[in-house]
Each structure stands twice: as structure tokens, then as C-alpha cells.
Structure 1
């Protein structure tokens, strides 16, 4: 793999707080430092799951560790986005695969690294970094950070390219060009929409939550 190099992707007060805590190498990581919107959304989701879908609540993994985050950043050659750090410091993915969120299942830190490095390697060999007409996006970009997997090989990614849409969520297909047409503006916005749908009813995009035998799943809204 030839394109991998170190990027800085974090920004804002939360990123500065989390990053400085990670780099100090001592003391607990506080996911509530700065603005903790992702953390707050996870707290709401967890609370609802404990009450309404305990089987799903039971498969939430614990938080990622300081050491594992730093090792992952070194392996990927970049600092993780601040919102993704917040999410990983709440839950390092799931203990087993499930249709837990409406669009894709959150990845563990280990899976994020594996998926990122695999995409970087494949893109190098198939001209996957180039935008081919009539597409408006490439197959992969070195500043797309995996967040979740839809189970079919497509990744929900956080777009860290500079500009006003930085931080949006899109879908990186395993066969076609990526799609940001219906992108959530941020991971915070997406997880907050999930929490709202669970607590108050309604849909997240085209998906609505249903429970069955104590487990949460999502189905197309009619």
C-alpha cells in the first residue's frame, strides 16, 4: 500500500480534549469533556434499549481503551475523527453482529482498522481513488473513515475531506462509486435521530424501529 500517510482529522473542543487526554498517557479518558453530543445520544439509546430491547442492550461492547485507540491511529496513519472517538469511548462496536442501527452495524476499532487498510490496499490496485464519469465520487478515498458495515460489504463512512461537508456520513459501496446524496451531516445528527425515533416514535430516513422478543431491529417505513 503506497498512499497511506498521517492525517489530522480531529477538530473542535471535543477533539482537542479527547486528543490531549489520549496523548498525556495518564488518567482516565473522559468522553464528556468538551461537547459530548455523540456520547449523549448513546446514553439515550442505551437507556431505551435497557427498557425496551434488553437483548440488544446486552450486545453493546464496552469502551475502547486508550492504548487500542493510539495503536489504531498509528496503524492507519491518522487521528480518528472526534465524533468517532466519542462513539468508540462509549461502545467499541458490538459483541455480535446484529441489525442494531437502521443503516449499518457499528464496527469495533479493530474492524475499523481492518476495513480501512483493506480498502486502501484494494483501491491502489483497481484505480479506486479516481472519480470515473459519470460518477461524482470515487470508489474509495483516504479520508473516508469506516463507522459501520451493512452486512453486504458496503461501509457507512465519515467523510473527513476539508470543506463545509466535512464530517458527513455516506455509503462506500463495495462494487460501485460511493454515495453521499442522502448523507447525514454528522454522526451526532445520525445517532440523535436514532435516539429520537426510539424515544418518541417515527423513522430514521426510510427505517423505523421495531422490537421482537426483546431485540431491536429496523424495517422499511411504510
Structure 2
């Protein structure tokens, strides 16, 4: 069978992921092993923040609700991966800059409702599918936005996303464009915990604390 060769330039077409079929609200169980793994990484992060960046620790959101996630899944037509759901159940967004602030001015973690509202806004703004790899498109409706880089201009994607098809975490690094950076939300949490405890980098950013607030410094700046 001949290989499918993508056309170039890509042909724009309506994004079917932005017009999902109606589906019931269903609270799905989370794999207990996944929840334990996510909670373990969050405990490492919380412990470090409490000792070193107390203002960022206090900015962590409270626990999310499983039904709120189920409502968002129903309205967006996507299943949140287990590790993303487990993370939201522990911390539902952030009040201000989050622990995942891989940008000069930081980034805010979205609440479950903000994820849903942002998805709707992005789909209303860009309802086209280029027919290329959805993970490298500026926006595709199968993605789940979870971080907001508030001070970016419109040329660089303002949101980090989780791919509902496989769970990879991606963002625009403003150099190579949008693309997957880590294989899962759990991998992101583990990378952040390692960076905090050991001073490691995450995609070219290294943690630092200024006046009790966690910041991420670009290693090339």
C-alpha cells in the first residue's frame, strides 16, 4: 500500500475536534498507580516550595473535583489523560504564577473551568485543521490547554497543552515552534521535582527563587 504523503503547503479544512459530538457526563476512574505516581511527584514539589519558595507554595490551587473534570471532558469531547486528572484533583490551577513557569515572566496554571473556557476560545479563534501533525500545529482541538504564558505576543503560542491522544505535553519554545516537550504530565511533574531538588534544567530553564517566588531563568540569557 503506498505511503500517504502530506500535501505542501497544507490544505486548511475544518477541525473536527473543535465540533465534538454530544457525550454524557461520566466520572471515569483513575488508574491507582498513576494517581500514586502523580501524588508522589507533587509531594516532592510541595515540600521544596514550602521550604524555599513559600509565596509560590501559597499560590497552588486547592483540590479540583472529579465531576468538574467530567463536565469539561463532555463539553470538549476529549478524555483528559489519567495523570492530568490526578494532577488537577490535587491542585486545580494556580493563583498567579505557577510552579511550571518556563518563561521570562512565568506562567499561570489553568483551573478546570479555565481549561474548558480556553479550549472554547481557541477553537472559536482557529477552527481549521492543517492536515499535518496536530502536535506541531499552532492549535488543534484535540489539545488540552493547561498553562498560560500571559505576556507572549500572538506570534508565539500562549498556552502549553496536553495532547488528549497519548498525553504528551507540549509548548512553543519561540524558536522551533509548537511541539511536544515531555511524554506525559507525570513526566513533567517529575522533571520539575528533579529540577527543584537538584538544580537541573527543564527545556532550557533553571529554577531560581526571588523574594519567596519561584522563577525560571533561561540558561542562555
Q: TM-score range by the shorter chain?
A: 0.7 to 0.9
- Which SS does the other structure have where 1:209 is aligned? strand
Report the equivalent of 1:4: 19
Task: Provide the C-alpha distance between the structure 1 equivalents of 2:108 and 2:192, rounded to a whole number of angstroms.
Answer: 13
Contact 2:34 2:83 in 1 (8 A): no
Change (3 A) 1:69 1:160: closer
- Aligned-pair RMSD on alpha carbons? 3.1
- Which SS does the other structure have where 2:139 is aligned? coil
Task: Provide the C-alpha distance between the structure 2 equivalents of 1:210 and 1:5, rounded to a whole number of angstroms.
Answer: 42
Change (3 A) 1:179 1:160: same
TM-score normalised to the size of structure 1?
A: 0.74
TM-score normalised to the size of structure 2?
A: 0.74
Change (3 A) 1:79 1:199: same
Number of aligned residue pairs: give it: 191
Contact 1:131 1:139 in 2 (8 A): no
Matched, 1:179 2:178: yes
Change (3 A) 1:136 1:55: closer
- Which SS does the other structure have where 1:208 is aligned? strand
Matched, 1:210 2:208: yes
Equivalent of residue 194 in structure 2, options 188, 193, 196: 196
Task: Provide the C-alpha distance between the structure 1 equivalents of 2:177 and 2:113, rounded to a whole number of angstroms.
Answer: 23
What displacement does 1:76 show?
1.5
Contact 1:99 1:105 in 2 (8 A): yes
Equivalent of residue 157 in structure 1, options 149, 158, 161: 161
Unaligned 5+ runs, structure 1: 9-17, 22-31
What displacement does 1:78 show?
2.7
The range that moved more, 66-75 or 140-149, is: 66-75
Task: Provide the C-alpha distance between the structure 2 equivalents of 1:75 and 1:179, rounded to a whole number of angstroms.
Answer: 25
- Which SS does the other structure have where 2:126 is aligned? helix
